[in-house]
Amino acid sequence: MPAKIALEKRAWEWALKRSLSKISEEDVRTAYRVNFPPCKPGICRKNCNGNPNCFNHLQSFQSEQNDIEDDGIKSKGNFVGLKNLGSTCYVNSLLQVWFHNDQFCSVLFSCNAFPDMATGHRAVSSGSSSPSDLPTKKLKCDSVIATNTIQHLQLLFTRLYYSQQKYVDPTDFVNSLSLKHNEQQDAQEFRNLFLGWLEKMLQEELTLKAFIRNEFRGSCSYITTCSRCGNSSTIQSDYGELELNIKGVKSVDDSLSDFFKEERLTDDNQYYCHHCQHKQDATRNIRLSSVPRVLNLQLLRFVYDMSLLAKVKVSSHILFPESLDLSQYGCHVDRGSYKFHLTGVIIHRGPTAYSGHYIPHILDSKTGEWYRFDDEHVSKLNSKYVGKEDDEVMLGLSSKKKPRCPKGYHASANAYLLVYTRDNSDEHVAKVDAPCYLQEVVEEENKLFLESIQQAEAVMNASTLKGCETQKELNSIFSSLYPADNNDFEWISTEWLTVWLTGLDPGPIDNSQYLCEHNLMSPESVTKLKQVSSKAVEILYEKYGKSDSIRLSCSMMCRRCVVNKCHQMQLKQRIVDDYKRLCALAKSRIDPADSCWIGKKSFQCWRRLYQQSNDIEEIQEDTVQQCSTKETSCDQPSTKADDCAATIMSFNEDIVCCHGKLCADESKRRLLPSKAWAILLQYFPNTMLYANETPVCPECLASLNDNAGELQLAKQTAAIQKEELADLYLTKSRPQLDMITSEVYVLPIGFYEEWSAFIKAPTKYSAPSTLSISSLLCAHGGFLYDPCLISDSSSEQYVCTISIMIGVLGVCITIIL
């Protein structure tokens, strides 16, 4: 039982057993819950409204603290994150990977993206610059306006270098590419499209364009050898990444072996040999002609499932090495150009191919430490294995269940893209720092940011000082809230106390809404009030009270309201008990000589009629055992009883005819034992008694007899029409207009619905008198609708019937098809 209901029951359980004249002062105090013990700390999960002595979870005041770690300032030695704009984690992941590619950044900053800026403000050096190295002459920040993607990318990378914020906003860069913020894209697809676009943008700078190709693109040779003559042909192809199958394999080494393994071309897949001038069996091998300095291995996590007709994610673990040697797959002897080391891993955390989150893990080339770039949150990896945290989140795997990693390997069930960088150190590009004018922009942003932090800290310090004083005051009063004596307290609003304990201004204490009609405290208001010691109340009223404030002392308990509620509860219980007795009597055998007539509607809703006439709260149906029989059930918990109460104004008036006598229609009344009638008379003492032998109204009886013949004729007519037009009534065997060539007949749907209602209930509904076809004809007398063009599901104006209807229903429109 919920605590609120249990407390309510505890406060009033005595009321059903106590005579109204014997209600004591202790009973009144129990109804107001004065003696309820206070809840112990930790017992209730939230404040108990039903207990005026429960003060748990009211004191929620917390002073603002100056938390430097959460003020948005980047910690020393850490990297700057990127804000996620909704679903732009795929962009952020690749931006962080490219930003940590020093040679890519140098090439990007060497582009003259802002030609209008003075060349004297460009800084080129082999070391790194900081804002303190800027020239003494400063540029105004608003003079550097980025208008294209290259400019936005330069400015964004400058912020990643020099910003003192925890993360920066890439909105301008994302908008320059017309990317939707809330639309998730594939990281691989975005990488290929962006690098292709970047090559186009650098058409005029051939050196930079060549760098992009050498940095990220390689070429491979498809060598096909004829098995008969041994002649070979080679086709060159460029690639941006190697796509490796991981389904059914354990490591990237196995995936590479599978990727480069020899393919046999036989049967329908034979190779046309130009030397033999005929199709022959052949073998095909893939060899790397050149490899980029940054090699991307795309792990095929998403595969198409033919049974589901959708892409599914392969969540199996894959081992990948820290060092990679591809020399066995190359065409050249230079083995050094094929040796790589792992510098980045992009994790896809998500259950499906259509949703998820991209998180890059990047190796810092300066310190050799791995970092996790989860959008705004950048952290150093605690584990020596890349992707361990994300595997544990997604799969719930502990370190014991994760496959063992050999030395020099990592394992992940969510690794999506592996980034390897060539070991050669002779391919060095002179380091180019961000242009000075962009550094000045970031320096000015840092200055404004730090000023705002200082202002916020000053406000927070003042608020903290004020909060400490407020907290001290609250603590001193809160400790004295509990009344030491059950006779020395006053009631205070729970809502007002809650606001006051949060440290906010609660306003003046106003108790007027808790008064009853006798200008005392209503017992129904107990759940909205708390019992507070007189000592604490004096302090509160001294500060928050008004001269005309109404104080709810322990002497304000209203005895008259308690007595009235007891009377209501006892009366409702009596109604429930009498209801059960009536149901039992109604199902018992009835003696015609000792019975009375009662209206069926009155018997069904007598409780609601009594409650409405005496202003009694409605009895909850869950307290009543419902009668199971359909005939004798009274006052069912449905809208039917509500309708009955709405249609009759007084009890048993539904069996009185317009002449003031017992109605002749027996369908409106039923017999009830005299014992049951005696129970009902206690609630409706002024009701007219109609014994079983009471004669019915002669005028109504004559009228009923006259109608009996008409009703019998209507029943016979309905039965004949239902038998002869069974298919029409049951909507079976309707003709298909596009498949017949004979005559069919069309009826207005309104006529059909009226006729169908008559067939179902001939005593309730009249047969249609006329068949009007005006709704089917246009102003010129032609047919409005083409039946062949209207489907059954949308035919709102007509129904198609067979020719037998004409003999029963009369003339219909004839359509010649």
User: What whole-number distance in Å separates Cα of residue 538 and Cα of residue 380?
Assistant: 57
User: What whole-number distance in Å separates Cα of residue 158 and Cα of residue 152?
Assistant: 10
Report yes or no: 439 and 129 within 8 Å, Cβ to Cβ: yes
Report yes or no: 54 and 38 within 8 Å, Cβ to Cβ: yes
Cβ-based neighbours of 194, under 8 Å, separated by 6 or more: 94, 177
Residue 311, SS3 per DSSP:
strand
Report yes or no: 395 and 409 within 8 Å, Cβ to Cβ: no
> Hey, what amino acid is at 351?
P
For 639, other C-beta atoms within 10 Å of its C-beta total 9
Task: Please pick, among 348, 357, 361, 410, the residue that the annotation labels catalytic.
Answer: 357
> Hey, what amino acid is at 163?
S
663 catalytic residue (yes or no): no
181 catalytic residue (yes or no): no
Cβ-based neighbours of 277, under 8 Å, separated by 6 or more: none
Cβ-based neighbours of 480, under 8 Å, separated by 6 or more: 533, 535, 536
State the SS3 of 382-445.
Answer: CCCCCCHHHHHHHHCCCCCCCCCCCCCEEEECCEEEEEEEECCCCCCCCCECCCHHHHHHHHHH
User: What whole-number distance in Å separates Cα of residue 110 and Cα of residue 432?
Assistant: 6
Residue 726, SS3 per DSSP:
helix
Query: What single-letter DSSP state applies at residue 662?
Result: B
Task: Please pick, among 48, 54, 89, 220, the residue that the annotation labels catalytic.
Answer: 89
User: What whole-number distance in Å separates Cα of residue 375 and Cα of residue 96?
Assistant: 9
Ordered DSSP codes for 55-121 = -TT----------GGGSSBPPTTPPPEE---SS-HHHHHHHHHHHT-HHHHHHHHHS---TTS-GGG
User: What whole-number distance in Å separates Cα of residue 149 and Cα of residue 172?
Assistant: 8
Q: Which residues are identified as catalytic?
A: 89, 357
